[in-house]
Chain A
Amino acid sequence: MRRDDVRFAMAARDDGMRKISRFTWRAGAVGAACSALIAVAFGHSVAAHEHGHGSQPSQGIIVPAQPPAPAQGAGQVVSGAS
């Protein structure tokens, strides 16, 4: 290979490396920006979710320790709508 060809090949390689490097940096920067945006959006969603629910425990409606038992006669109090 002639010396000029070698120099041309090395320059082409360096140029390619620079392009790949620039592309890698740009892709990294875009990726980081997207990650930040997703994090902000997701974080907001979680915050809204928590705010919307307050800080109540997440358990379901609690069943009574025992169901009501049958009884005869009048009640001490009345449960009806008001």
Chain B
Amino acid sequence: MTSVATAGDTFSVFGTTATLVVSEPAAVQVARTVADTELAAVDQACSRFRTDSELSRLNAADGRPVAVSSLFAEILGVALRAARLTDGDVDPTCGGPLADIGYDRDFAVLAAAGDTGPHRAGPHRRVPGWRSVQLDQSHGQARLRAGAQLDLGATAKAWAADRCATMIAARTGSGVLVSLGGDIAVAGTPPDAGWRIRVTDDHAASQNAPGQTVTIASGGLATSSTTVRTWAMGGRQMHHIINPATGEPASSCWRTVSVAAGSCVDANTASTAAIVRSGAALSWLQETGLPARLVRHDGSVEITAGWPADGAQADRA
């Protein structure tokens, strides 16, 4: 481990905040260049709000097969893996239901719009399910059942954090932490005391917000919450984590779940699934050996699999 001072950079991307921290201050400029390049490529491939993205082309293909880049194929493969590992609780085909509840534009625009109008009457659009996606990575081709709509938000951002961290560490030789809207990946040699992370509800909160400070030395850490990225529709509060079984925002006993894993995308997969699984998440995380911190709506906290105990054991929001 190294004991040198760290340096960082913060900027906007994917409608959220990105932070880079490197253990070698001289590496910060190269780190930013690498991140800008990688994140632009991911946005071009996966944005739901860009008509020129590969994802938008696939969503508009009406069941026809579409040629896709190796980058898009890899990210879609990661999303399908997440779906398989969570028995479909983290499903990439939630794009339709998300649009139905008003999340059909960039979130900054949605948040500024106030109430997005009356809640759609009648039965909600079913989530087609991840098995309606066919991906042939070897031939660079994907096909989506007609009517299905992809949203890769649950995994693409976390995967991008992993990719940026790995590439920056390889390019600069520096230890690096990459945070994309609170989805955190680290790579390379960490500082002596590890990377210090404040775990709380909202990634935009202060570094002393109610929560807990922990350190990690490798892998990733991600947090999912029903209290952030919310909006109103017909007087109801909506949030962005869809329960694929209902097509509606997940109704969970947990307000916020943070998970540490071998990578950021695995951490995010587990934290999102835990919100969807609600009460069943605790035993699932315990059985899978994933260290996690789960916060109920009243602020009481549960921890699993080696996550350090918090002195207060409660987050009062």
**B-contacting residues of A (Cβ < 8 Å)?**
48, 51-57, 60-82
Q: CA–CA, A79 to B215, complex, Å? A: 11
CB-based contact B288/A52 at 8 Å: no
A76 touches B6 (CB 8 A): yes
Which chain A residues border B222 with CB–CB below 8 Å? 79
| A52/B131 in contact, CB under 8 A | yes
Cβ A71 vs Cβ B84 within 8 A: no
Known A67-B306, A73-B213, A76-B21; contact A54-B137, beta-carbon cutoff 8 A: yes
Beyond the given A62-B261, A65-B218, A81-B224, could you list 6 further A-B residue pairs with CB under 8 A, ordered by the A residue number? A52-B133, A63-B290, A64-B262, A69-B194, A77-B184, A79-B183
25 contacts between A and B (CB under 8 A): A52-B133, A52-B134, A53-B77, A54-B76, A54-B137, A56-B78, A62-B219, A63-B288, A64-B218, A65-B217, A67-B308, A71-B193, A71-B215, A75-B198, A77-B21, A78-B199, A78-B206, A79-B184, A79-B200, A79-B221, A79-B258, A80-B211, A81-B256, A82-B202, A82-B228
Q: Which B residues lie within 8 Å of A61 (CB)?
A: 85, 261-262, 266, 269-270, 288, 290
Give every chain B residue within 8 A of A53 (Cβ-Cβ). 77, 80-81, 84, 135
Q: Distance (Å) between the CB of A49 and the closest chain B CB?
A: 9
Nearest Cβ in chain B — how far from A63, in angstroms? Answer: 5
Nearest B residue to A54 by beta-carbon distance? B77
Q: How far, in angstroms, from A66 to B201 measured CA to CA in the complex?
A: 23
Instruction: Give the number of chain B interface residues (Cβ < 8 Å).
Output: 81
Nearest-neighbour CB distance to chain B for A17, whole angstroms, equals 52
Task: Return chain A residues, CB-CB under 8 Å to B84.
Answer: 53
Q: Which residues of B contact A64 (CB under 8 A)?
A: 216, 218-220, 260-262, 291
B59 interface hit (Cβ, 8 Å): no
**1/0 contact trace for B1-39 toward A, CB 8 Å?**
000001010000000110101000000000000000000
Q: Are B197 and A76 closer than 8 Å at their CB atoms? A: yes
- What CA separation (Å) do A2 and B29 show in the bound complex? 111
Interface contacts (Cβ under 8 Å), in number, total 195
Given A55-B77, A78-B197, A68-B221 contact (CB < 8 Å): yes
Give B134's nearest chain A residue, CB to CB. Answer: A51
Contact between chains at A77 and B85 (CB < 8 Å): no
Of A53, A55, A64, A79, chain B has the most CB atoms within 10 Å of the CB of A79
Task: Kindly state whether residue B130 has any CB partner on chain A within 8 Å.
Answer: yes
Q: Which one of B96-104, B119-127, B174-182 is at the A interface?
A: B174-182
- List chain B positions with a Cβ less than 8 A from chain A: 6, 8, 16-17, 19, 21, 73, 76-78, 80-81, 84-85, 130-131, 133-138, 177, 179-184, 193-209, 211, 213-225, 227-229, 256, 258, 260-263, 266, 269-270, 288-291, 305-309
For B76, the chain A residues whose CB sits under 8 A away are 54
Are A72 and B213 closer than 8 Å at their CB atoms? yes
A68, B218: Cα distance in complex, Å: 9
Contact of B305 among A62, A67, A69, A78 (CB under 8 A): A67
Q: How far is the CB of B169 from chain A (nearest CB, A)?
A: 15
**Which residues from A are CB-within-8-Å of B307?**
67-68
**Interface residue from B21, B77, B197, B220 paired with A56 (Cβ < 8 Å):** B77
Residues of the A chain whose Cβ atoms lie less than 8 Å from the Cβ of B213: 70-75
Q: B256 near A80 (CB under 8 angstroms)? A: yes
* Alpha-carbon distance between A51 and B144 when the two chains are bound, in angstroms: 11
- Give the shortest distance, in Å, between A67 (CB) and chain B (any CB): 3
Chain B nearest CB from A22 CB (Å) reads 45
Q: Do the beta carbons of A66 and B227 come within 8 Å of each other?
A: no
Contact residues in A for B85 (Cβ distance below 8 Å): 60-61
Query: A66 vs B307: C-alpha distance in the bound complex, in angstroms?
Result: 10
